[in-house]
Amino acid sequence: MGDYTVKKDISEMSLAFVGAGKMAQAMAKGFLAAGVVKADHITATAPSCRSQPTLEDIGCQFTHNNKEAVENSDIIFLSVKPHILPGVLQEIAPVVTKRHLMVSVAAGVPLQFLEEKLPPKSRVMRVMPNTPCVVRQGASVYVPGSHVEKEDSEIIKSLLSSLGYCSESNEGMISAVTGLAGSGPAYAFTAIDALADGGVKMGLPRELSIKLAAQTLLGASKMVLETGKHPMQLKDDVCSPGGTTIYAIHKLESGGFRNLLIDAVEGACLRAEAIA
């Protein structure tokens, strides 16, 4: 590991996203919106056969050269698909030094694997973010590896907090977090679309239906977070005896609504473990 003084101030640090896809773009745009990192301090990479104009368009640097991006950065977000990651680790390992905080967002790839593929004592962390990071309403957890310092965790906590909710976790929980929060936005998008279909079926214009559905989920979520009440208490509060809402809840229960959501989280969690 080379001789290098680790920077402490995020605004001085340069970030690299190795793999400039959907998750990297969501995080980079969130960091810029939060003002925690400047665009010219972010470098994103993708293979030479691909171009990623989105991040370049907002002032980030872009290269096809993963090693060059790592060499010029302090915090490296490994944001390629899990099956691509082993090859990328092999490629960049020769240029990873004491300077670098390596942060994998890949589902299902354990810390031990990451640490084994990088030079001894590399500072490695796992993060499980989700794409609402782009609007700074993400839900993320981070798990420190064996050689990270307290300051590293503080830096990642501070970066992720600028993108929404975040908390430290342990690796035993990260597949469940993947199943709930990592994949969760897709469940919510599907729910919004289905609710909007219901509105359209009953005569509402599509655009109004989508807005009402999305705002209803947003409002309900804020009530859970801001009142601190249990979700089922809030549900009971809006189910008047013999009213419209309890009739709808009966329909949801008859269709196995909760069971399906529990199955969805379990399915994604087990899939994350199978990828490992």
- Cβ-closest position to ligand NAD: 21
Could you say which of 2, 4, 11, 22 contacts ligand NAD (CB under 6 A)?
Answer: 22
How would you label 123-162 residue by residue, b for 16+ Cβ within 10 Å and e otherwise? bbbbbbbbbbbbeebbbbbbbbbeebeeebbebbeebbbb
If the CB atoms of residues 37 and 88 are measured against ligand NAD, the closer one turns out to be 88
CB of 150 to ligand NAD, least distance (A): 25
106 binds ligand NAD (CB under 6 A): yes
CB of 141 to ligand NAD, least distance (A): 11
If the CB atoms of residues 129 and 145 are measured against ligand NAD, the closer one turns out to be 129
Could you say which of 27, 28, 107, 156 contacts ligand NAD (CB under 6 A)?
Answer: 107
148 binds ligand NAD (CB under 6 A): no
Could you say which of 14, 43, 73, 79 contacts ligand NAD (CB under 6 A)?
Answer: 79
| Rounded Cα gap, residues 51 and 38, in angstroms | 21
| Rounded Cα gap, residues 40 and 15, in angstroms | 9
β pairing state of 75-78 and 101-104 = parallel
| Rounded Cα gap, residues 68 and 80, in angstroms | 16
| Rounded Cα gap, residues 266 and 213, in angstroms | 25
Q: Which residues contact 113 (CB under 8 A, 6 or more apart)?
A: 86, 276
For the chain, what is the total number of helices (H) and then of strands (E)? 12, 8
If the CB atoms of residues 37 and 107 are measured against ligand NAD, the closer one turns out to be 107
80 binds ligand NAD (CB under 6 A): yes
Could you say which of 23, 89, 155, 268 contacts ligand NAD (CB under 6 A)?
Answer: 23
Q: Give me the DSSP letters along 17-54.
A: EES-SHHHHHHHHHHHHHTSS-GGGEEEE--TT---HH
83 binds ligand NAD (CB under 6 A): no
If the CB atoms of residues 181 and 209 are measured against ligand NAD, the closer one turns out to be 181
Q: State whether residue 164 is helix, strand or coil.
A: strand
Longest dimension (CA), the chain: 72
CA distances to 21, 37, 66, 240 from 44, in Å: 9, 14, 9, 53
If the CB atoms of residues 128 and 213 are measured against ligand NAD, the closer one turns out to be 128
CB of 264 to ligand NAD, least distance (A): 14
Query: Among residue numbers 47 through 76, which ones bind ligand NAD (CB under 6 A)?
Result: 47, 50, 52, 66
CB of 198 to ligand NAD, least distance (A): 26
Nearest-CA neighbor of 126 among 138, 112, 108, 144? 144
Query: Among residue numbers 198 through 257, which ones bind ligand NAD (CB under 6 A)?
Result: none
Could you say which of 15, 27, 41, 45 contacts ligand NAD (CB under 6 A)?
Answer: 45
Q: Which residues bind ligand NAD (CB under 6 A)?
A: 18-24, 45-47, 50, 52, 66, 79-82, 84, 88, 105-107, 128-131, 182
